[in-house]
Amino acid sequence: MLAKRIIPCLDCDFGVPQGRVVKGIEFKQIRYAGVPWELATRYYEEGADEIIFLDITASHERRETMVNVIKKTAERVFVPLTVGGGIQTVEDAKKAFDAGADKVTVNTAALNRPDIISEIAGQYGNQACVVAIDAKRRYENVEDRIVVPSSKGDCWFECSLYGGREFSGIDAVAWAQKVEELGAGEIMLTSMDGDGTYDGFDIELTETVSTRVMIPVIASGGCGNAHHMLEVFQKTHASAALAASIFHYHEWSIGEVKKYLAENGVQVRL
Amino acid sequence: MTIAIVDYGVGNLFSIYNALNHVGGSPELVDDPQKILDADGVVVPGVGSFGKCMQRLAPFETSILELLEEDVPLLGICVGMQLLFQKSEESPDEGLGWIEGEVVRLPKNVLVPQMGWNSISLKKDLSIFDDISEGDRFYFVHSYHCVPKDPSVTAATTDYGLELSACISRGNLFAVQFHPEKSGPKGLTILKNFVRSTKC
């Protein structure tokens, strides 16, 4: 049986030599966590099923650093590498693939120009094109939105772009279905309300999306402990769970999380 | 002792190159069919669609066949496994046809592509499985799977909606649906065993 995947996510600032891993809370308040390739290697050795690098650099001279980090990582980390953040064109995606990435994630570029999904999928295969969706809960009524009952009242989910700095007005659930049609191989679904909070995954968001698409969904945003991972696998159809802070700051190792999941009946790679 | 990775212009081959290098093989990316003939082992990778891979691999067909006849070990990976079959539901192009059977779409009741770590069940006792145990997990990414006409070709299976062929073997020909270069320590073990087989 296919195992649930545990994926550490490294938000990277490539504005300094070698790059650095940073982590914010609700997309703000940045803390430093280490050097990207070193951290990726540590996670690989701990049993990470995949590694995600997200480029959050503000400057534009970052590409060379990013390429070097991917190359160095791919020489010693033998699990899939996904690279995202700031991929605006197929040419950007090509740079990441050429450096050794197995998949890329697109977010803002896809919202602005959905055809980029089919272009990347057409060239590199559906499996190589991950669409990242950053979703924010909205409790006010708007017509034609997919409304989900939640403990805090009925809500819908709005797609954000530019790393949480802008909102699109687009319904995240409908968008997830659309990106599947366009050829996305996977959805990385981040709850903006949960990101960095340690309060747990957004179960309602994750379950709503993962039951409406037939491609894998990676749950992201809010993981504070192994129990949150267990909860997201028990209550939703997510194929993978992503976390950053709990791994960066040695609160849980990937091995400990997996052991806990296995003891509770979740299929994982040990 | 070199292992030729057939570089026929599909996907990035750094992963398999890095992984073979890591386990002590001497990999070389070879984009000239003539130059493959010197190799002690040959790897046929494959990323993307069956049709596109087949069209690009065609110029290498005679050289690879020649190596197979000289008993040089061959490792097919992912679409590189599928190409060994006669045809695929994915494209009208004919496959190499070295293994009888066809490649079909994964069933409708499962998420497609299969993406992630699945366990394998060993059906044959092969040296390429040294230090591999029943139930070990490997990284799969695929939408189609191989159905050999002769079931005894299947060396290992995996369960994804149905029991499907994860590895096939016949003589010096071995192929895997998963990506050993992305399957952590267990994947490296398979590659290490393959490298060793090229030295016998």
Is B90 labeled as catalytic in the residue annotation? no
Nearest CA in chain A to B141: A127
Q: Which two tokens stand for residue B1?
A: 């002792």
Q: Which two tokens stand for residue B112?
A: 């497609």
Tell me the shortest Cα–Cα distance from A239 to chain B, in angstroms: 9
Tell me the shortest Cα–Cα distance from B178 to chain A, in angstroms: 12
Pick from A16-25, A178-187, A242-251 the range whose average pLDDT is largest: A178-187
Residue A17 has pLDDT above 90, yes or no: no
Mean pLDDT of all residues in A236-247:
95
**Confidence band of A66 (pLDDT split at 50, 70, 90):** confident
B47 or A94, which is more confident? A94
B 36-95 → A contacts, CB under 8 A? 47-49
For all residues of chain A together, what is the average pLDDT?
A: 92
CB contacts of A127 in chain B (<8 Å) are 113, 115, 141-143
Cβ pairs bridging A and B (under 8 Å): 89
Specify the CATH number for the domain of residue B104: 3.40.50.880
Mean pLDDT of all residues in A88-94:
92
Largest CA distance in chain B: 45
Question: How crowded is residue A244: how many other Cβ atoms within 10 Å of its Cβ?
Answer: 24
Provide the pLDDT for residue A24: 65
The predicted complex's ipTM stands at 0.92
Model's pTM, two decimal places? 0.93
In tens, the pLDDT along A194-241 reads 877 889 999 999 999 999 999 999 999 999 999 999 999 999 999 999
Residue A60 has pLDDT above 70, yes or no: no
Mean pLDDT of all residues in A245-265:
93
In tens, the pLDDT along A160-175 reads 998 888 899 999 999 9
Contact A78 B184 (CB under 8 A): yes
A81 to A52, A233, B72, B165: CA distances (angstroms) = 6, 22, 32, 26
A17 or B150, which is more confident? B150
Tell me the shortest Cα–Cα distance from B4 to chain A, in angstroms: 18
- Asked whether A169 and A158 are in contact (CB, 8 A), the reply is yes
Q: Which of A134, A193, A195, A202 is catalytic?
A: A134
Domains of chain A (ranges, CATH numbers): 5-263 (3.20.20.70)
**Confidence band of A25 (pLDDT split at 50, 70, 90):** low
Write the residue in A128, A186, A269 that is nearest to B137 by C-beta.
Answer: A269
Q: Report the domain count for chain B.
A: 1
Give me the residues of chain B with pLDDT under 70, please: 1, 11, 200
Mean pLDDT of all residues in A97-111:
93
Write the residue in A78, A127, A269 that is nearest to B113 by C-beta.
Answer: A127
Provide the pLDDT for residue A122: 87
Q: Which of B78, B90, B142, B167 is catalytic?
A: B78
Domain that holds residue B55: 3-197
Provide the pLDDT for residue B48: 77
CA distance linking residue A192 with residue A137, whole number of Å = 8
Contact A3 B181 (CB under 8 A): no
CA distance linking residue A131 with residue B81, whole number of Å = 28
Residue A58 has pLDDT above 80, yes or no: no
- Asked whether A189 and A218 are in contact (CB, 8 A), the reply is yes
Contact B119 A1 (CB under 8 A): yes
In tens, the pLDDT along A138-147 reads 999 888 899 9
Residue A189 has pLDDT above 90, yes or no: yes
Write the residue in B12, B115, B159 that is nearest to A185 by C-beta.
Answer: B115
Which residues sit opposite A137 in a β-bridge? A157
**Confidence band of A26 (pLDDT split at 50, 70, 90):** low
Provide the pLDDT for residue B78: 94
Residue A59 has pLDDT above 70, yes or no: no
Closest CA to A245 of A21, A48, A85, A50: A21
User: Which DSSP string corresponds to B54-116?
Assistant: HHHHGGGHHHHHHHHHTT--EEEETHHHHTTSSEETTBSS----SSSEEEEEPPTTS-SSEEE
Write the residue in B22, B116, B188 that is nearest to A5 by C-beta.
Answer: B116
End-to-end CA distance of chain B: 11
Provide the pLDDT for residue A104: 96
Q: For B79, phi and psi rounded to 5 degrees?
A: -65, -25
Residue A86 has pLDDT above 90, yes or no: no
Q: For A203, phi and psi rounded to 5 degrees?
A: -65, -45
Mean pLDDT of all residues in A239-264:
94
Contact A1 B118 (CB under 8 A): yes
Which of B12, B78, B157 to mutate to test binding with chain A, by most A CBs within 10 Å of its CB? Answer: B12
- Asked whether B17 and B29 are in contact (CB, 8 A), the reply is yes
Is B78 labeled as catalytic in the residue annotation? yes
Is A11 labeled as catalytic in the residue annotation? yes
CA distance linking residue B48 with residue B175, whole number of Å = 17
Contact A100 B19 (CB under 8 A): no
Nearest CA in chain A to B120: A1
Cis peptide before B113 (omega within 30 of 0): yes
A162 or A262, which is more confident? A262
Mean pLDDT of all residues in A147-163:
91
Provide the pLDDT for residue A74: 94
Q: Which of B53, B146, B167, B181 is catalytic?
A: B181
In tens, the pLDDT along B23-37 reads 999 999 999 999 999
Provide the pLDDT for residue A200: 94
Residues ≥6 apart with Cβ < 8 Å to A255: A46, A47
Contact B184 A44 (CB under 8 A): yes
Tell me the shortest Cα–Cα distance from A235 to chain B, in angstroms: 18
Provide the pLDDT for residue B156: 98
CB contacts of B27 in chain A (<8 Å) are none
CA distance linking residue A122 with residue A99, whole number of Å = 19
CA distance linking residue A154 with residue A262, whole number of Å = 34
